Amino acid sequence: MRTFDLALKDLSQVLREKQSLLFFVLMPVVFTFFMGFAYRGAVQPADPRLVLGWADADGGALSQQLYAALEGSSAVRLVEVDPASVARPEPGDPAGVPSDMAGVLIAPAGFSDKALAGEDVQLTLLADALSTTGQSLYQVLRAPVVQVMSAAQIARLDVETLEAQQALAGEDARDAERLAAFEAAAQAWTEARQEEAWIRVEKAVAAEPESAPLGGNPYNQTSPGMLVQFAVFGLVSSAQILVLERKSRTLQRMITTAMRPWQIIAGHLLAMFALVFLQTALLIVFGQLVLGVDYLREPAGTLLIAVSLGLWVSSMGLLIGVFAQQDQQVVLYSMIAMFLFTGLGGAWFPLEGAGKAFATIGHLTPGAWAMDGFQNVLIRGLGLASAWRPAAVLLAYAAGFFALAVWRFRVGEET
């Protein structure tokens, strides 16, 4: 009971301080949001397609068909622009291209009617013909433009054939037949592209699909990362209690009572563990309910890592409290531990993207194993079995820190 009384005394002493809420809840939440926004680009990468301005002054059948063909392209992304706002330099001249576009394709007025009538009419592409981007645009546009123009040629040949057979009476009949023949030829080209797409899909299905970065949610990285970081940083308040007890001679008086040294150590350790575990539980609930981080997909695995994390961090906090002689030293040692174990441990960025050598060094720290345990559940979709190894490593570090703290405590009492 004395051990529990000491733990309750530590808890009440820490929680009475106004800055406790700031360190234990508000700062982790704010940093989690901030880091999540920083990683949002990794989960939602920018569209890699070339941006092509589409200036349609025609609005006819050919320009509509060409727009439909380009809209389904995986190489370009169309952005409609007002034809009247586009400068008209020579084709290939990039002077009229907005800075946020790779080029502008202009369909002139009367383009469809003239092309179907067999008159000489051309599309205009404004792009830097000497640049890689400009050359890529030319290659991308070659196939759809050829298909649309070939469909117009087929329509003209169809009308000429029917006229030779005197099967068409009047200009309206010729126009209707020409448009119908163009639409039929264009539809044939569309079906041909779809058949090619089906072949690509079958090949893609045969291959193993790549998973979305960070499981599709940037907070799968930042939520456990900030949880680990502030679990370490939150020890400043609890570790300072040992320093204050030593400075006020309270610790020395407790040793002269019936309490044994191990009970004193256990009481302080229990209080630190309760603080860390409470903070961890609050941040897990926040991540689950607000950020969409599915900690409860494998609740047993999450609980195992959370308990192991609490024991490691509280043992380290106990060690800091035993070694530190002044309040400033508690802050210094806690900051060093936070930056060392979280920076190298992958709390700020995924170790997988930092290179094999850095990842190997990072896994010498307990922070990396804590992140592995959480991300095995959150990102890799693994079960309880994947949490045992990280938990075992964290418990080994906890036992080591606890043994050092007990040894230092005994040495300090002997001296």
Residues 200 and 258 in one domain: no
The answer to whether the pTM exceeds 0.75 is no
CB 39 within 8 A of CB 353: no
Tens digits of residue pLDDT in 153-208: 888 887 778 777 766 667 777 777 778 877 888 788 777 766 554 334 444 443 33
The number of distinct structural domains making up the chain is 2
- What's the token pair of residue 47? 């569209």
Which CATH number characterizes residue 147's domain?
3.40.1710
Print the domain residue range for 134.
Answer: 50-206
CB 228 within 8 A of CB 347: yes
Write down which residue in 186, 206, 226 finishes a domain: 206
Residues 151 and 253 in one domain: no
Backbone angles phi, psi at 78, to 5 degrees: -80, 140
Residues 336 and 197 in one domain: no
Residues 222 and 113 in one domain: no
Residues 381 and 336 in one domain: yes
CB 268 within 8 A of CB 250: no
- What's the token pair of residue 390? 């990280």
366-378 helix and 299-323 helix, angle to the nearest 10 degrees = 160
- Burial of 122 (C-beta count, 10 Å sphere; 0-12/13-18/19+): middle
CA dihedral of 295, 300, 301, 303, whole degrees rounded to 10: 70
Residues 286 and 362 in one domain: yes
CB 362 within 8 A of CB 345: yes
Write down which residue in 156, 189, 206 finishes a domain: 206
Residues 291 and 404 in one domain: yes
Residues 186 and 202 in one domain: yes
Q: Which residues pair with 280 in a beta bridge?
A: none
Residues 188 and 109 in one domain: yes
Confidence band of 396 (pLDDT split at 50, 70, 90):
very high
Under DSSP, the state recorded for 96 is: G
CB 50 within 8 A of CB 76: yes
Write down which residue in 175, 206, 237 finishes a domain: 206
Residues 367 and 235 in one domain: yes
Residues 15 and 64 in one domain: no
Under DSSP, the state recorded for 215 is: G
pLDDT of residue 207: 39
Residues 224 and 360 in one domain: yes
Tens digits of residue pLDDT in 94-145: 556 777 788 888 888 888 888 888 888 888 888 877 777 777 888 888 888 8
Q: Where are the beta strands (DSSP E) in 363-402?
A: none
